[in-house]
Structure 1
Amino acid sequence: MSSWGRIEKNARIAIAIILSLMFAISAFGDCRGDRDSHLLRNYDGTIGDNAHVRMTITVNDDAIRGEYCYASQLMNISLRGRVVDGSRFVIDAFDSSGRIIGRFDGEFPTKDPRGKFGDSELQCEVMVGTWSAGGNSFEKLPFYLTLESQTGGTLEHRYSVAGAADDKLIDRTAQRFWEAVKRGDKQTVASLVKYPITIYTKKGYKKIRHAESLVRNYDVIFTPGYVDAISKAIPKNMFVRDQGIMLGAGDVWFGPDGKVIALNNF
């Protein structure tokens, strides 16, 4: 089985181990970043009961820059803030005109309040607190985010690590694929794949050499569980490495031109 098989599907396990080591050797011993750090910290979670969001931040000393998006909108909102006393933070959200439209006031807890990490001692793996709307709104909601990965690249050009020249192209193509899978548009899905491609499923693997073959095998590949996994992922601010750009937990990988290069239905 190639590196796009079980290795990639289980990559999140290796990532978790690497992340724990990275934080363990932090120069500060807390959630501030090194002055010259260029790592992107990618978080996933919710605001309120069910508003699914993805957030990416960089932390240089105690200064925070970043962006986040809602799964329902897929438009990045700029973030600026600071780490206070190593474990608390205040992060403001800005619209395109520079007006504050929201605030994340919270902490990096040492224990996960929702138990995702069990009783493990945490450093920066979880962000919890209160999100409040800007302006004259008094809306306040709890938020809970967990660290998904740390990657290279920059906020302006995160996918360069995979050789991509145009981040907007990657996002547009990934979103088009994601939307097509959700509505069962076989032709559009097939048109966004780079051939030949090897499809991995619980029953083994199959090489697909052209779009017509993928359409014929579509229902075998895109099972209800696989469609659900893809649908729950956010095709924005995705994990990236030198081999490609990942949607979900290794379910789909995109190449530097935005085409799908791996489908892993395990």
Structure 2
Amino acid sequence: MIFTAPDVDGVRDSLKTSRRVSPLRSRLVARSVIVASLSTLTLLLTALAPSMARADCDPAGRDIANRLMTYTGQLGERNPLRLVLRPSSGGKLEGRYANASSLSDTYLTGKLENKSRLHLTEFDAGGMPRATFEGDFTANDDVNRQRGAASSCEVISGQWKDLRNGRSVPFELALASIQSGKIDHLYGVAGVSDDDTLNRAATQFRKGVLDDRRDVVAQSMRYPLRVSLHGKTLMLRNPKSLLARYNEIFTDAYVRTIGAAVPRLMFARDQGVMLGEGAVWFDASGRVIALNRS
């Protein structure tokens, strides 16, 4: 719908034709007509504008109660973020988050109010509150429905606030996976004894890719290595065979995909631990066992 602005000159001309109205009153009447017209226009545009509706996420639901819900997205414009939440009875929340440059996970505690409003607090080394996540579960019909959870738990958006300086940064996260396990030992199902050892291996591999350190990347693999490429599966037998096809595998797009992934708080299953949305898979020792090019 297209709205036409009020004809101000026409209003003034019509007022001038009446000898009973003073010039001052003419200006006041004209101004009131314009303001009323613009107010009506504002109300109409506000009514037509899309809004982000809140959604209910019931932590007592059988699909998510006491399970680990992993969310991925952005903190600000360029900071990939990964958040793991464990909801429990009474709306209590326990969590951990990390970004691509994190050397450790940040522990969170909080609560869920009215099944939609999220309050999370992170603490410094001395146990003092350092920052907060305040947000809402929001409705999003476009999120993939095959993730195994109700749509009401799929998207979180809000503000992260630094309590020391008051700086606030927006965040938006989408549900990536739901799994069982312990929040401080996510990779146990994959046979990993120490999560930090695998995190370090994943971080080293990711840095090697981004820095174009091909020797580091080649030594990060467990051979024979499965590579999904051009709709086919290749088996590379040794570092030499990987280096021979390196440019074909590690394209700019694939390097960007790896760079956007957070090498901590990763999804795990019995077959291994995955970086990003399955772009790279690691075994229990931290060796790369599969590269998946989309």
TM-score by length of 2: 0.74
Change (3 A) 1:37 1:203: closer
Kindly indicate whether the alpha-carbon contact (under 8 Å) linking 1:251 and 1:265 is maintained by their aligned counterparts in 2.
yes
Q: Distance in 2 between matches of 1:167 and 1:79?
A: 18
From 137, 155, 169, the equivalent of 1:126 is 155
Q: Distance in 2 between matches of 1:222 and 1:30?
A: 39
Q: Distance in 2 between matches of 1:154 and 1:141?
A: 29
Q: Distance in 2 between matches of 1:238 and 1:228?
A: 18
The letter of the residue matching 1:134 is L
Question: Could you say what secondary structure the match of 2:284 adopts?
Answer: coil
Taking only the aligned residue pairs, the percentage that are identical comes to 34
**Which runs of 5 or more structure 2 residues have no equivalent in the other structure?**
1-55, 145-149
1:55 matched to 2:83? The reply is: yes
From 85, 94, 103, the equivalent of 2:132 is 103
From 273, 276, 286, the equivalent of 1:245 is 273
After TM superposition, the structure 1 = structure 2 runs for residues 31-50 of structure 1, keeping only pairs within 5 Å, are 31-33=58-60, 37-50=65-78
- Return the offset for 1:96: 2.4
From 246, 264, 269, the equivalent of 1:218 is 246
- Return the offset for 1:75: 2.8
Question: Could you say what secondary structure the match of 1:195 adopts?
Answer: strand
How many aligned residue pairs are there?
A: 233
- Return the offset for 1:34: 5.9
Kindly indicate whether the alpha-carbon contact (under 8 Å) linking 2:118 and 2:136 is maintained by their aligned counterparts in 1.
yes
Kindly indicate whether the alpha-carbon contact (under 8 Å) linking 1:67 and 1:77 is maintained by their aligned counterparts in 2.
yes
Q: Distance in 2 between matches of 1:77 and 1:116?
A: 30
1:186-244 superposed Cα distances (whole Å, 9 cap, x missing partner): 11111111111121101522211112221222112212221111111111111111111
Deviates further, 201-210 or 189-198: 201-210
- Return the offset for 1:51: 2.5
Aligned to 1:232: 260
The letter of the residue matching 1:117 is V
Q: Distance in 2 between matches of 1:203 and 1:83?
A: 43
The letter of the residue matching 2:163 is G
Change (3 A) 1:72 1:168: closer
Indicate the structure whose relative CO is greater, using CA pairs within 8 Å and at least 6 residues apart: 1
The letter of the residue matching 1:198 is R
After TM superposition, the structure 1 = structure 2 runs for residues 13-162 of structure 1, keeping only pairs within 5 Å, are 30-33=57-60, 37-61=65-89, 62-109=91-138, 111-112=139-140, 116-117=142-143, 122-135=151-164, 137-162=165-190
Q: Distance in 1 between matches of 2:228 and 2:151?
A: 34
Change (3 A) 1:34 1:228: same
**Which runs of 5 or more structure 1 residues have no equivalent in the other structure?**
1-28
Change (3 A) 1:60 1:130: same
The letter of the residue matching 1:196 is P
Q: Distance in 2 between matches of 1:117 and 1:38?
A: 23
Say which structure is richer in helix. Answer: 2
The letter of the residue matching 1:248 is G
Question: Could you say what secondary structure the match of 2:223 adopts?
Answer: coil
Kindly indicate whether the alpha-carbon contact (under 8 Å) linking 2:98 and 2:262 is maintained by their aligned counterparts in 1.
no
Aligned to 1:202: 230
Aligned to 2:24: none
Rg comparison, structure with higher value? 2
- Return the offset for 1:49: 2.8
Which 4+ residue blocks in structure 1 deviate beyond 6 angstroms? Answer: none
Aligned to 2:40: none
Kindly indicate whether the alpha-carbon contact (under 8 Å) linking 1:38 and 1:153 is maintained by their aligned counterparts in 2.
no
Q: Distance in 2 between matches of 1:200 and 1:226?
A: 12
Change (3 A) 1:74 1:125: farther
Question: Could you say what secondary structure the match of 2:201 adopts?
Answer: helix
